[in-house]
Amino acid sequence: MNISKRLKESVKNILDEWDPIGVYDEATQLKDEYDGYIYHICRLIFENSDIIKIETYLNEITKVNMGLLINELNNKKYARKIFDLRNI
């Protein structure tokens, strides 16, 4: 899978905005907190995953990886933004 720099940057920007643990800060060193999820999300885009599948992945990250309560409305909002990247 050949992921364009533009797509990776777009996904990164969305994840930084999503920021479920509230650590992203442009001025700090925490600019890469969510970078580990970029490849999998790009793969979901390449597989033409629907919004529900993307939202499910965001829910999994939130609950399993971060141990946080799931904010369904927020994850749905960002799943939509990620889904809309499929035409980049």
**DSSP character string of 47-60:** TT--HHHHHHHHHH
Determine the Cα–Cα distance for residues 26 and 70; give it in Å rounded to an integer.
24
Determine the Cα–Cα distance for residues 39 and 74; give it in Å rounded to an integer.
21
What is the fold, at CATH topology level, of the domain defined by 5-21+31-87? Endonuclease III; domain 1 (1.10.340)
- Length of the chain counted residue by residue: 88
Residue 41's pLDDT is 98
Confidence of residue 1 (pLDDT cuts 50, 70, 90): confident
| Sign of the alpha-carbon torsion through 84, 42, 73, 17 | negative
Determine the Cα–Cα distance for residues 46 and 88; give it in Å rounded to an integer.
11
Residues 29-82 pLDDT 10s: 567 889 999 999 999 999 999 999 999 999 999 999 999 999 999 999 999 999
